[in-house]
């Protein structure tokens, strides 16, 4: 039974309008809370205007305060840019503020935007190792009531007991991102659920088959595999309108403008410095509107969601506000989705943790 969430990933091209876009985001989160969306997911990107609120940790506190039941997830916190003890404290505080409504989504950091690492004075080639060491520190911090010592490559720590202690025991709910098949299978061998980035339906289905098979080979039983599938999420860009034609008229230009803006600063840095983190030989599915955009009337969108449900994954992370799309247009799309698409799926709105 498929569940639905909203990826609040707002573009702000004009620095003078940052405050307005951030206010729109709070309003969108409140609308989603009202309509029964299960999770609001927050991104983390710096310096380029691709994510207007930039800091999802601070912004999560505002969303938790403005809403009553919706969960707030990170998709994802760029762990390599954070001090792990500071991040552990912040996530524990959010877990208390939301009384269990927080989903701590972790990833190493962007695979594309070298300027995000440069702006923080971090070598992008260290990102994965920083992430792996930091995740271990955070788990120790949440689960070591007597404190702990840590000596690693990047941090040497002597930590008393973390305060506040997590509201959720033994620690806040944790999920990891996997943008590649290798990453997904690494998590499968650990018996962990994951967040998948935008992929074609064909790639999604194949990856999930491999994910299940790898978990079985690692010795996990059918119940555990089913639970991990149910807790995993795939990301799609979604536009709903009264007709297919209207949805495509709205959605395709917004999607294409969003993709163009997301690579603008990356290409500028490459022209100036000759640095590129990830060179792609062919355009990936995430930039192809035929593969990465679901735009249509409610019946059309429901049919596409049913195809995703057939893969066995538990939930869809829907990005509704794409690029320069006005907030009111995104709000109409969200309302149509939750009123005319989500009810066709039995588990479209699952109650969050008790208030």
Percent residues over pLDDT 90 in the chain: 93
H or E segment to which residue 330 belongs:
helix 327-336
Rounded CA separation 299/304 (Å):
9
CB 299 within 8 A of CB 194: no
Q: Average the pLDDT over 303-316 and give the result.
A: 98
Q: Where are the domains of the chain?
A: 3-344
Q: Average the pLDDT over 73-98 and give the result.
A: 98
pLDDT-derived band at 280, boundaries 50, 70, 90: low
Q: What is residue 140's three-state secondary structure? A: helix
Q: Average the pLDDT over 217-227 and give the result.
A: 98
The class that CATH gives domain 3-344 is: alpha beta
CB 73 within 8 A of CB 44: no
The answer to whether residue 354 scores a pLDDT higher than 60 is no
Rounded CA separation 214/186 (Å):
9
- Structure tokens given for 138: 């955070």
């Amino acid at each position: 039974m498929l569940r639905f969430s909203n990826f609040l990933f707002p573009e702000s091209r004009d620095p003078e309008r940052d405050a307005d876009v951030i206010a729109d985001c709070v309003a969108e989160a409140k609308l989603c809370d009202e309509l029964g969306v299960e999770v609001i997911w927050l991104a983390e990107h710096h310096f380029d205007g691709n994510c207007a609120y930039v800091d999802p940790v601070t912004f999560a506190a505002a969303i938790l305060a403005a809403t009553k039941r919706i969960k707030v997830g990170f998709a994802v916190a760029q762990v390599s840019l954070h001090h792990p003890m500071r991040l552990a404290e912040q996530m524990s505080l959010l877990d208390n503020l939301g009384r269990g409504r927080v989903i701590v989504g972790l990833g190493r950091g962007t695979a594309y935007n070298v300027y995000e690492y440069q702006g923080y004075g971090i070598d992008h080639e260290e990102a994965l190792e920083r992430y792996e060491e930091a995740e271990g520190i955070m788990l120790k911090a949440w689960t070591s009531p007597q404190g702990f010592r840590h000596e690693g490559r990047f941090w040497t720590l002597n930590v008393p007991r973390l305060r506040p202690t997590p509201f959720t025991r033994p620690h806040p709910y944790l999920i990891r991102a996997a943008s590649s098949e290798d990453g997904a299978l690494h998590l499968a061998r650990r018996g962990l659920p994951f967040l998948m980035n935008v992929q074609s339906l064909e790639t999604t289905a194949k990856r999930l088959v491999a994910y299940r098979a790898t978990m079985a080979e690692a010795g996990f039983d059918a119940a555990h595999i089913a639970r991990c599938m149910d807790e995993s999420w795939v990301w799609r860009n979604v536009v709903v309108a009264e007709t297919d034609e209207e949805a495509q008229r709205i959605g395709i230009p917004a999607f294409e403008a969003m993709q163009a803006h997301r690579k603008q600063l990356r290409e500028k840095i490459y022209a100036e410095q000759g640095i590129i983190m990830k060179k792609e030989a062919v355009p990936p599915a995430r930039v192809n509107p035929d593969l990465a955009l679901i735009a249509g009337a409610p019946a059309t969108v429901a049919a596409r969601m049913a195809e995703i449900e057939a893969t066995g994954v538990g939930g869809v992370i829907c990005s509704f506000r794409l690029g320069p799309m006005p907030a009111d247009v995104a709000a109409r799309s969200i309302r149509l989705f939750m009123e005319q698409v989500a009810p066709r799926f039995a588990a479209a709105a699952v109650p969050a943790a008790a208030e």
